């Protein structure tokens, strides 16, 4: 049974933007309250977590989770967008050894200082970076620290390196690939990217866009996402919860979901010995 609030796992096909998918879902479900929890470039495919209805309030929370990708590097080619769809700036012959590649990949484990790619929607002085790029304007690109939780070599043949990587929110795989190539003393560009996991969600559980359009999809709720305890809202707690007050309760669950008349009211998270309001539905 479809509901007014939920989470849908979609396998985004190539050439669609994340916004395209949101618009398709919005039209299908006849609601403007639709959001995704992490942008995938048009080139990329894979897991796109969609929230709709009241569950759009979960978007920022779910965006903070780790993400795992399968990525391919096409060696010997450099583009302006850092992926295979861009304008070719340079080509060269490349010859590498697997041990060399594995050593360089492993060097990125932990905190990594990354330059944000110019073809991105990050704003500098109120203007998106890709607008600078398209206008031919020069700009000092912002940098930031991100964390690489795992990175594993998978294969190397026909000038293509395939690897998997688990990262925190806000990590640009295109930029990571650029820096991998720099450490390998060569050039390369991202030729393929698949998001296979995000937080508790897996690509294998996602439906295709075609299945979604044919009503063949599953709707998840917050109980499927978090290890929580449902807590019916009592009269004594009602005013405190509805005002988002902190609570001291004899509970051990990390999360409490306050409900009333089968409606989700508020999500509280335990911090030390106190429950604090995370989301008010």
- Is residue 1's pLDDT more than 50? no
Q: Nearest Cα to 34, choosing from 18, 46, 50, 14?
A: 50
The per-residue pLDDT for range 170-188, each reduced to its tens digit, is 899 999 999 999 999 999 9
**Domains in the chain, please, with CATH?**
6-65+200-222 (3.30.2350.10), 67-192 (3.30.2350.10), 226-280 (2.30.130.10)
The per-residue pLDDT for range 235-280, each reduced to its tens digit, is 888 999 999 999 999 888 889 999 988 888 999 999 988 999 988 9
pLDDT of residue 123: 84
CA distances (Å), origin 130, targets 66, 80, 135, 138: 25, 11, 8, 11
Q: Nearest Cα to 28, choosing from 212, 220, 210?
A: 212
What pTM does this model have? 0.89
Which residues have a catalytic role annotated?
Answer: 41
The per-residue pLDDT for range 87-139, each reduced to its tens digit, is 999 999 999 999 999 999 999 999 999 988 888 878 888 888 888 878 888 88
How much of the chain, in percent, has pLDDT values that exceed 90?
70
The per-residue pLDDT for range 26-54, each reduced to its tens digit, is 999 999 999 999 889 999 999 999 999 98
The per-residue pLDDT for range 52-90, each reduced to its tens digit, is 998 998 888 888 889 999 999 999 999 999 999 999 999
CA distances (Å), origin 113, targets 12, 28, 100, 235, 238: 29, 41, 21, 51, 46
Q: What dihedral angle (degrees, nearest 10) is formed by the CA atoms of 162, 165, 170, 172?
A: -20
- Is residue 2's pLDDT more than 70? no
Query: Is the separation of the CB atoms in 40 and 12 below 8 Å?
Result: yes
The per-residue pLDDT for range 136-160, each reduced to its tens digit, is 888 888 899 999 999 999 999 999 9
- The per-residue pLDDT of the chain, averaged, comes to 92
pLDDT of residue 244: 92
Query: Is the separation of the CB atoms in 209 and 13 below 8 Å?
Result: yes
């Amino acid at each position: 049974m479809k509901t007014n609030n939920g989470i849908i796992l979609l396998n985004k096909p190539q050439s669609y933007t994340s916004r395209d998918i949101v618009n398709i879902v919005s039209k299908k479900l006849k609601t403007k309250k639709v959001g995704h929890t992490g942008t995938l470039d048009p080139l990329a495919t894979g897991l796109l977590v969609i929230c709709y209805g009241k569950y759009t309030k979960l978007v920022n929370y779910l965006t903070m989770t780790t993400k795992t990708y399968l990525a391919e590097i096409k060696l010997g080619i450099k583009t302006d967008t850092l992926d295979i769809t861009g304008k070719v700036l340079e080509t060269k012959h490349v010859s590498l050894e697997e041990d060399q590649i594995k050593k360089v990949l492993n060097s990125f484990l932990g905190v990594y200082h990354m330059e944000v790619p110019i073809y991105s929607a990050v704003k500098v002085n109120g203007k998106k970076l890709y607008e600078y790029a398209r206008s031919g304007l020069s700009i000092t690109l912002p940098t930031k620290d991100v964390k690489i939780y795992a990175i594993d070599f998978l294969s190397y043949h026909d000038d293509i390196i395939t690897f998997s990587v688990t990262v925190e929110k806000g990590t640009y795989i295109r930029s990571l690939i650029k820096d991998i190539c720099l450490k390998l003393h060569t050039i390369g560009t991202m030729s393929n990217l698949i998001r296979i996991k995000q937080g508790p969600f897996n690509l294998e559980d996602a439906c295709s866009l075609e299945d979604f359009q044919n009503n063949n999809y599953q709707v998840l709720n917050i109980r499927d996402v978090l290890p929580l305890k449902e807590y019916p809202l009592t009269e004594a707690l009602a005013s405190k919860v509805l005002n988002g007050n902190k609570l001291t309760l004899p509970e051990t669950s990390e999360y409490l979901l306050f409900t009333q008349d089968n409606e989700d009211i508020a999500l509280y998270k335990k911090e030390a010995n106190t429950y604090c309001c995370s989301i008010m539905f």
